[in-house]
Amino acid sequence: MVLHAELADKSYLFNTGKSFKSYGFLGCHLLDDEQAEFNVWAPNAKKVAVVGDFNNWQDSPLKQIKDTGIWHLVLDGVKAGDLYKFSITGPDGKRALKIDPYATEFEKKPGDAAVVMKPINHKWKDGLWLGRRKRSKALQRPLNIYEVHLGSWRRHEDDSYYSYEEFANELIPYVKQHGYTHVELMPIMEHLLDASWGYQQLGYFATTSRFGTRAEFLNFVEKCHLANIGVIVDWVPGHFIRNYDALYQYDGTPTFEYQDENRADNKRWGAWNFDLGKAQVQSFLISSAMYWLEECHLDGLRVDAVSNMLYLDYDDGKEGLTNKNGDNRNLEGIAFLQKLNQVIHREHPDVLMIAEESSAYKGVTDTVENGGLGFDYKWNLGWMHDTLKFFEMDPVYRCNNFQLLTFAFVYMYNEKFILPFSHDEVVHGKKSLMHKMPGDRYNQFANLRTMMIYLLAFPGKKLRFMGSEWGQFLEWRDWSSLEWVDLKDDMNHKMDIFTTALNEIYHNQRPLWELDHNPEGVVYSNTDDAASSTMGFIRQGKRKHQFVVAAFNFVPVERKKYRIGVPFTGEYELLINTEDERYGGTWTKLETNFTADKTPFHGQPASFTVTLPAMGALLIQPIKLNRG
């Protein structure tokens, strides 16, 4: 049993925003086979009790630890598997049944009672993976992420969910076969509404029961690591589910959310905003992040909706809100994000903290010491939107809109970027990536292959949403499985082969990731030829003789004797041609070898010519250079 003096010390840290593993004492903790300790933060409650299977859902009152806001009880007759809730009586005398904010498992929806759980006793076998992760320098390593929504990746024929165990047996080999380095799971924290995709969270310490138990999820993570696949999970610290039996007005007053209802109410997403300036909320949220990274061995968190935490006026109807300095920054939100990243990186410097941030806020990936937010990476949403807008155009108009591609070269080193083609761009009528492409079916695939080479070659780490690897035609539907039947079609099958080949090239070619965040990583060759809608540039590795040449033709007109400038004379060979018949193209004979002579071109001392395929792209590498 935790003595009150010990609990008071832990409560002090919690109340001052310094308890970063508060899941160790708050919530429900089994002390032995039939005794449990309950602790819950409800500072303004008039009365708190626990109700559950163990007491026939009748009140067992908790006592408040003086001056802490923490209510405490040790209760006999409690066993693993029992369901429970807290009964909270607010200052106005009204009673409400509330979830346990620190529950590590919930009953299956539509119920939301917490489950009494035994402590995690998983005997991890991923030490080799964690050791490599500590030694590796992530910025200089390949990062190629497969974004997955577990509820719709695969389902059974009766439309029931796969289990974590089934995902381990099928998703892991699939990701491995296709050459991705990481999976990024859309939120797997417990949530009630499928249509929220997990972004309106109920449980901040609980894996969703849709797919199985916490133990089965830990097994999934371990098996990913044993297959050399990292696991990133989306996490939502900005806002929480609207349900009144969850965190909203937890003790009968605004507790986790802002006191000001206008600031608390997230109208755009139908949720409640966390009060990020409140010390106890900081302890709660940072503890949640630590739980997933430390107890579940995750390799990173992609923090959702960062812009909503950075700006007071980000939500609908909040125009004109300002801070004490007269601008629209959310000073508490900024301070929280800085604190979050400092704590996480102090404890786990090798995990990845990734920001989904949609504005031009400066310093998202700069250090806190330099005034930045301290994230490792930021999704480059500007690059994504401009690239998709360009490729959706009829090719005849691309020459007049070339800035959609070239503008990103201006700011590509402002932050440490991940280049995403994410779930948000293939849903709600936006069409799938393949369906966005103009022209007939053949040209749609030609455009898609070219765009994927552009993703590969442009500086920044990579992320692609499931289904894009074979060019699914239907846009993403969260309520049903991907259209796996597509792979019986020859074009889809060849697109899938192309993706696997492209990922292998990415993994094996150091210049494509070694200097992603260094201006020396790109050598400009021919990036401004808008008139012909063509582009060429070089991705440079640390060693001067290691580089990859990328050449693009964004219109369906073949370019013979297209000249490409390179730094050395010598012999070069083809890595991939998007028009190779193996990948769905029309070329049965490929130009595979090229000789660079001393003809200067676009600032480079040497060059060679290629036949640039219509609506296609080439990647070429040096094999024997004259470096004298």
Which of 356, 376, 475, 514 is flagged as catalytic?
Answer: 356
Cis peptide before 110, with omega less than 30 degrees from 0?
A: yes
Structure tokens at 102: 């620190």
- Whether 332 sits among the annotated catalytic residues: the reply is no
- Locate all alpha helices (DSSP H) within 360-427, ordered by sequence: 381-392, 403-406, 408-411
CA-CA distances (angstroms) from residue 151 to 301, 394, 472, 477, 494?
19, 35, 17, 10, 26
Strands 70-76 and 35-41: antiparallel
CB atoms within 10 A of CB 509: 21
- Measure the N-to-C terminal CA separation of the chain; round to a whole number of Å: 75
Structure tokens at 513: 């990731």
Q: How far apart are CA 177 and CA 507, in angstroms?
A: 13
Q: Which residues contact 421 (CB under 8 A, 6 or more apart)?
A: 384, 388, 433, 455, 463, 464, 465, 468
Say which amino acid occupies 498: F
User: Computed from CA positions of residues 208, 212, 218, 221, in that sequence, does the dihedral angle turn out positive or negative?
Assistant: negative
Give the DSSP per-residue string, 499-511.
HHHHHHHHHH-GG
- Whether 356 sits among the annotated catalytic residues: the reply is yes
Q: Looking at the chain, how many residues does it have?
A: 628
Which residue, 354, 311, 316, is CA-closest to 331?
A: 311
**Cross-sheet strand order for the sheet of 271-273:** 239-240, 271-273, 265-266
Q: Which residues contact 423 (CB under 8 A, 6 or more apart)?
A: 147, 149, 186, 197, 465, 476
DSSP state of 395: G
Which of 37, 295, 304, 315 is flagged as catalytic?
Answer: 304
**Catalytic site residues?**
304, 356
